[in-house]
Amino acid sequence: MANSKLIVVEGPQGAGKTTITDYLRYTIPYTNLYRLCGTADSTPTGKKKAETMYRDLVEYLKKLGNQSINLVFDRTFFTEENYCRLKYKEYSFTDVYEELLEDFAKLDFEIYYVTLYLEDESLYTQRLKRDNKAVPKYAKFEAEKSINQQKVYLEMSDEIEKKYPNIHCLKIENSKDLELTKQELKEKIGF
């Protein structure tokens, strides 16, 4: 039986992933934070690179199951699937994504899939004004792109919740006061 939490935080650019994952890392005892960015290769050869990276990640997670350590991820293979569905990349990742998700659902953790979103989509314009963030070529920060990503992330959360009842799918509206978001996470994740 799982004695550790695995929390994956996903959401569009500007939804607040960095803030929320930092909060989770420093609030939940015995927690490691991983911040992933995928591969820069958006050509068909990039699919193999992404597949190798994420299959290795799932194998790594299998080894850490039931070790009394909590893991928080700021993006994983869900981002790859989102970007491919939106045609930011020149390939489909769905076949690999479905296999990874199947293995992910079997991990020996209490699993949380957190989707951050903004109800007031106009906030993306202001939140995406960034000075110190790397910008991938295929995903330039634009409000319209974040809104499209948000729609797909919310759809993906529904799909996961329907197919994998053991994965706690949380949709967290993140334009409210940060303290309210923190309280909501505490209540829903239980820490």
Domain ranges of the chain: 5-190
pLDDT level of residue 152 (50, 70, 90 thresholds): very high
For 98-110, letters b (16+ CB in 10 Å) and e give eebbeebeebbbb
Q: What is the pLDDT of residue 38?
A: 83
Task: Quote the pLDDT of residue 122.
Answer: 84
pTM over 0.85: yes
Secondary structure of residue 55 in the 3-state scheme: helix
Q: Residue 125: its pLDDT value, please?
A: 82
Residue 90: what pLDDT? 95
Please give the CATH topology (third level) of the domain spanning 5-190: Rossmann fold (3.40.50)
pLDDT at residue 2, rounded to an integer? 72
Confidence of residue 131 (pLDDT cuts 50, 70, 90): low
Q: Is the pLDDT of residue 140 over 60?
A: no
Residues 70-90 have a mean pLDDT of: 97
Report which of 74, 32, 80, 72 is spatially closest to residue 54, judged by C-alpha positions. Answer: 80
Examine the pLDDT at 170 and tell me if it is beyond 90.
Answer: yes
Is the pLDDT reported for residue 148 higher than 90?
yes
Nearest CA to 138 among 90, 171, 73? 90
